[in-house]
Amino acid sequence: LGFRFTPRMPTWTPELKRLATIAAPAVLAGGVVQINLLVGRQVASYTDGAVSWLVYADRLYQLPLGVVGIAIGTVLLPDLSRRLRAGDTTGGRASFNRGVEFALALTVPAAVALMVISLPLISVLYERGAFGPDDTASTALVLAIYGAGLPAFVLHKVLQPLYYAREDTRRPFRYAVASMILNAAIAVGLMQFIGFAAAALATTLAGWIMVAQLWLGSRQMGDEARLDDRCRSRLPRIVLASLGMGAVLLGAQIILGPMLGTDGWRYIGLGLLISTGITSYFAFGVLIGAFKLSDFRGLRR
């Protein structure tokens, strides 16, 4: 190529040292969900087949978690940092609140769906060969428990930028450590009572505990970390629209039951079930004012 490449150790400048000091705690705080999952799998390994059930359920709930979480983390932190550095408190508050709305408008219905139709989801996607009905029931239980924690896991991505935009990574780090300790304690403590489900329940509870810590810690940050009138008005409506969708899914699951249990038709049945849920959620949401369709069209920017 015309030049010689000689690897060298980077120069440890004050700027690099500062970057490492800020970034190291953020790395752990950002990976708390994955660490808790790893701990849960270790605890569940004492039950035959439990690790596989956790892994299969994890693959499904990671889809909405990854898509929504990455989108928020990519957009919210730089936007919030830019506004706060410019002294734009009003813009920073609007950015934070729209992030909360976006996160919950997508994850609350996803959580309800994962809890309501976990059994047909697992049955259609996984039940074949050595993966039998008992495996389906156990994996569906884990998926439903993980689903209850989905909004919490994504809210981490909304609340942490409030700290990172101020170059405060130490408090999220301390919150993450506390969350991981509680996760391990809950998983081990409940294992003898509810078996492998303790691992999933511990992960979900730890996720919500982390949200509570981040939220309480942000109370001293000023107006930009507070919910505005629009957000406070829309959040209960998002929950109501999601519950309405859940009721529709329960009925649709009964109607589509024969199709979901028939080879060759089960994938079509699952597609219809999911489509029904999506359509009903957006219909309820627009009807009761949880959001406007233009809100989602604006996300393409």
Q: Where are the domains of the chain?
A: 24-227
CA 217/CA 176 separation, integer angstroms: 13
**CA angle at residue 48 from 45 to 51, to 5 degrees?**
45
pLDDT bucket at 237, cuts 50 / 70 / 90: very high
What pLDDT sits at residue 33? 73
pLDDT bucket at 2, cuts 50 / 70 / 90: low
For the record, the structure tokens of 281 come out as 């959620």
CA 75/CA 117 separation, integer angstroms: 31
219, 225 in Cβ contact below 8 A? Answer: yes
What would the mean pLDDT of 116-126 be, rounded to a whole number? Answer: 96
What would the mean pLDDT of 77-87 be, rounded to a whole number? Answer: 81
pLDDT digits (tens, 9 = 90+) for 50-61: 999 999 999 998
Helix axes 89-116 and 229-255, enclosed angle (nearest 10)? 20
Where is average pLDDT lowest: 10-24, 174-188, 250-264? Answer: 10-24
What would the mean pLDDT of 232-252 be, rounded to a whole number? Answer: 98
